[in-house]
Chain A
Amino acid sequence: DQQVKQNSPSLSVQEGRISILNCDYTNSMFDYFLWYKKYPAEGPTFLISISSIKDKNEDGRFTVFLNKSAKHLSLHIVPSQPGDSAVYFCAASATGNTDKLIFGTGTRLQVFP
């Protein structure tokens, strides 16, 4: 039973356009959500997070939106750059502490010129 789902395995976006990556979750106990970015042959690196008390968090070109009623979050990248090409993982925690993260299956983003 996949508690965190990323239903789009891949996404292709032109440079300069907006990239929107989606994530759905089923466990209503999740109260902290994170996005990680992963390049080949490297470990995931933290990108941005959001607490369940917020519905939006912004950091430069990256914005995460949380819709608790729909159990849905999304990551917006504006404008997209070729260096953003990577696999993006959504993750969730039920305690607020990130000692136990449940990850989605990932979305591979390709940004082309």
Chain B
Amino acid sequence: NAGVTQTPKFQVLKTGQSMTLQCAQDMNHEYMSWYRQDPGMGLRLIHYSVGAGITDQGEVPNGYNVSRSTTEDFPLRLLSAAPSQTSVYFCASSYSNAGSTQHFGDGTRLSIL
């Protein structure tokens, strides 16, 4: 039972480069979300999806794109990386029931030089 799997675990990029953070879950969860964690800021919601083909913005969506073509996968794209996007990124998933809890991956640590 893998749960929520994020790849890569670590990545260093140069300013202006693009990349995709991968997230996959094997629990057949409808909801999937991306958060970033910064010192003193807690976890902030970037984008989320309530099902395949449906995505919406969270608190800090600028500079990030998402798509949800399957229930299992929810990739996060940085089109032109900026130093302000240096952070730890967490993907999470959950059922759509009220009171359902989110399951988190172990995170991707991203540094933008």
Write the residues of chain A forming the contact surface with B, with a CB cutoff of 8 angstroms: 4, 6, 9, 32, 34, 36, 41-46, 49, 51, 89, 91, 96-106
Contact = CB atoms under 8 A, between A and B. Distances in A.
Interface residues of B, number: 29
A98 B48 contact: no
Given A41-B106, A44-B43, A104-B42, A99 B31 contact: yes
A10 to B, nearest CB: 12
Contacts of B99: 32, 49, 51, 96-98
B104 A101 contact: no
A96 to B, nearest CB: 4
Contact of B106 (A43, A100, A103): A43
Contacts of A9: 40
Interface in B67-112: 90, 92, 94, 96-107
Given A99-B50, A105-B42, A49 B101 contact: yes
A29 B102 CA distance: 20
B42 A97 contact: no
Nearest to B39: A105
Contacts of A45: 104
A105 B40 contact: yes
Nearest to A91: B43
13 contacts: A42-B107, A43-B90, A45-B104, A46-B102, A89-B43, A91-B43, A96-B99, A97-B97, A97-B99, A97-B100, A99-B33, A99-B48, A101-B45
